[in-house]
Copies of this chain bind each other. A is one copy, B any other.
Amino acid sequence: MLPVVAENAAALIVGNELLSGKVAEANLVELARTLRPLGVRLTRVSVLPDELEVLVREVRQLSAEHALVFTSGGVGPTHDDITVDAVAAAFGVRAVEDPTLAGLIRAAYGARCTPAHLRMALVPEGAELALSPDGAWPTPVFRNVWLLPGVPEVFREKLATVRKWVRGPAPFVSRAVYTRLEEPLLKPLIDAAVADHPDVEVGSYTRWFEPSYKTKVTFDARDAANVERAAAAFVERLPAGALVRVE
């Protein structure tokens, strides 16, 4: 199955602790910044509690509507770690012990290894393992669902495996134009850019508390020539003195 070419992806971030505010969510931005340069469009992120039925329904829907799904969290040894069960149930298969993962866990924990440790070797039956580029812990992949851990330090490590095996049809190219004008004054120029360059995604971001510029206008597409054309046309239309810089 691997490597994978995917136009878009969704993320399912699991954990009561994120919704109660006990822990600040930290994985969304890391995943977004991994997928973007690969050319994969992240089009939905759902953050949900540790509730089996809720997760089963979500996995089914996200998997059907997106080329790839990345789950974050719920893969530890305790009662509230139910992501593997949810993915398995979403597709009507069992959660079974993967022999490779079980071997790695036994090797890591030695005599201290318990049945609870081995819960971390469970995968939806039929899952593949995506190998890490540095030979570290592999990542279970079932159909189009990648099961990543929730602990941010470990999640970030696993993104190396994503970078190894996943890419989009072509990378995104991005230009940012920084201006001294407020968004409402730029609006006619931005509207013109949107109308003239339908293949380019135009974004407009006000910085309320930034002295060096007021509004950043971004131009994104998979076709670099289109991006350059849209950004150049926008810069040409700016009134004198409004431009800070282009990046």
Contacts and interface: CB of A to CB of B under 8 A. Distances in A.
Interface string A37-48: 000011111111
Given A29-B25, A76-B183, A206 B151 contact: yes
Contacts of A76: 183, 204, 206
Contacts of A218: 17, 22
Given A44-B46, A44-B47, A45-B47, A16 B208 contact: no
Instruction: Report, as a range, how many residues of chain A touch the other chain.
Output: 35 or more
A32 interface: yes
Interface stretch (A89-97, A187-195, A230-238): A187-195
A20 interface: yes
* Copies of this chain assembled into the complex: 2
A203 interface: yes
B80 A204 contact: yes
Interface string A168-203: 000010100000000111111011001000000111
Contact of A28 (B47, B78, B174, B202): B47
Contact of A203 (B22, B34, B153): B22
B32 A18 contact: yes
Contacts of A43: 19, 48-49
Contacts of A80: 202-204
A46 B20 CA distance: 15
Interface of A: 16-25, 28-29, 32-36, 41-49, 54, 76-80, 114, 116-117, 119, 151, 153-154, 172, 174, 183-188, 190-191, 194, 201-206, 208-209, 218, 220
Which 6 pairs between the two chains have the least Cβ-Cβ distance? A21-B32, A116-B184, A21-B33, A45-B47, A116-B187, A24-B29
